[in-house]
Amino acid sequence: MQVNQEFRPKIVAFCCNWCSYAGADLAGTNRSNYPADVKIIRVPCSCRVNPLFILRAFQRGADGVIMCGCHPGDCHYTTGNYYARRRMTMLFSMLDYLGIEKERTRVEWVSAAEGAKFAATMNEFTATIKGLGENKRLEDLRCKTQ
């Protein structure tokens, strides 16, 4: 039996319902390719993403977490992503301060019309995570499968 030795990262993408999730949909309708390693979680707004969600994703074995939302100024709820922007800046800065590779976390603003940008972002992010390898610094061994 042939075993696939290539490292396939687990990537969690939090996408806001109104822009980025629709952007991902558009990427699909346009037949733009992006890796199947990206698991999308739909949230009502980027502001819904609690910092704990991101740490939880890492705990459960994610190798990279990306948060996508409407462009600042375009939020469906007017101001949600402005709060999210401050929050994520603080959280990522703290992760970096604790020595967890900052490249594993990212925020991108993707509108519903930017299917191509969504695919490009995910391709690039997956490549970065592949380069970094498995996430060793923020993982809970008890949550590991096998």
Contact 107, 71 (CB under 8 A): no
x-marked contacts with another protein along 77-96 as a string, rule CB under 8 A: --x--xx-xxxxxxxxxxxx
Site for another protein in 106-125 (CB under 8 A): 106-107
Q: Does residue 138 interact with another protein by CB under 8 A?
A: yes
Q: Of residues 100, 112, 119, 122, which one binds another protein by CB under 8 A? A: 100
Residues contacting 6, CB < 8 A, separation 6+? none
Residues contacting 70, CB < 8 A, separation 6+? 16, 18, 19, 20, 46, 76, 81, 109, 111
* Torsional class of 129: left (φ above 0), alpha (ψ -120 to 50), beta (otherwise): alpha
Strand order across the 105-109 sheet: 38-43, 11-16, 64-69, 105-109
Q: Does residue 51 interact with another protein by CB under 8 A?
A: yes
Q: Does residue 99 interact with another protein by CB under 8 A?
A: yes
Which residue, 26 or 68, is less far from another protein as judged by CB?
Answer: 68
Which residue, 43 or 91, is less far from another protein as judged by CB?
Answer: 91
Contact 72, 85 (CB under 8 A): yes
The span of 13-21, 37-45, 76-84, 114-122 binding another protein (CB under 8 A) equals 76-84
Contact residues: another protein, CB under 8 A: 51-52, 55-56, 58-59, 72-73, 79, 82-83, 85-103, 106-107, 137-142
